[in-house]
Structure 1
Amino acid sequence: MNEVVLKKASGRIEVTLKAIRIGKDLLVVITGGAGHIGAVGAGTNCGGMAVSSVMTTPGHRDDRIAKDAAERISKKLGCNCAVIAGVHYDGITAQEIKDVLILSSTLVDELEGALRTEG
């Protein structure tokens, strides 16, 4: 089973992406700060078109990270993908929230190359 861990930081914000191969599919965990399960996204690739859905834990706002990552990963890699996202920083600012989204997106972009290196 291949496993990849990637990290990115901006100021006090650090986001970690951990990906584990399950056969041809992927389980991805994106966390930062006080990690938790805030949202779970599922993505699948149907004939080159990726679709995704998301379930959010009440009171959490990690759904954008989970849904976007699941859809992008399944489209780019042509596999089923489950993404668990949970990022929490006390007193997070609007700019830091943007940083979390940018860092998460960048890590998803880097995942394909990292998996190729591992495999």
Structure 2
Amino acid sequence: MNKAVKPPFDIRIQTERIGQDYLFVVTGGEAHIGATAMAFHQEDGKIHTELGVAPGHREDRLALEWAGNACTRLKTTVTVVMGIHIPSASRADIELAVQTVREEMNRVLDGLLEPAAG
């Protein structure tokens, strides 16, 4: 499993290839499982997503966003497990954490696609 860590909230993205598919585990602050999103291509070529969310958790939209983005870019089934908890987080802290996840997921996906470009 490959791992990337990004301050200030220790956003961690672990990547594992499972056959032709990918699993991304995204955690930060106090790690846990808050949401799980899966995205896959249907027979008609459209991407379908499924979501599971633990009660009281808010990672659902970000997990869905990245499952869909990764599925589109990698052209395979993707599951994103996400759990980020930052105690006493301000709105600015949350926005920074979300932006950090987006930047790091883009960086990870770029890295996975790099060998294919060569």
TM-score relative to the length of structure 2: 0.87
Structure 2 residue 34 is matched with structure 1 residue 44: no
What secondary structure is seen at the aligned counterpart in 1 of 2:50? strand
**Of 27, 31, 41, the match for 1:31:** 27
Mean Cα displacement is larger for which, 78-87 or 50-59?
Answer: 50-59
CA shift, 1:111, in A, is: 1.6
| Structure 2, gaps ≥5 residues long | none
Aligned to 2:111: 114
Q: Deviations over 1:57-111 (max 9, x none)?
A: 0011111221111000000000101110000011001011111111111111112
CA contact (8 A) 1:13 1:33 kept: yes
Q: Deviations over 1:8-64 (max 9, x none)?
A: 22xx42211101000110011000011000000001134654332211100111112
CA contact (8 A) 1:62 1:86 kept: yes
When the two structures are aligned, how many residues end up with a matched partner? Answer: 115
The structure richer in strand per residue is: 1
CA contact (8 A) 2:37 2:52 kept: yes
Moved beyond 6 Å, runs of 4+: none
**Of 14, 18, 21, the match for 1:18:** 14
TM-score relative to the length of structure 1: 0.86
CA RMSD of aligned residues (A): 1.9
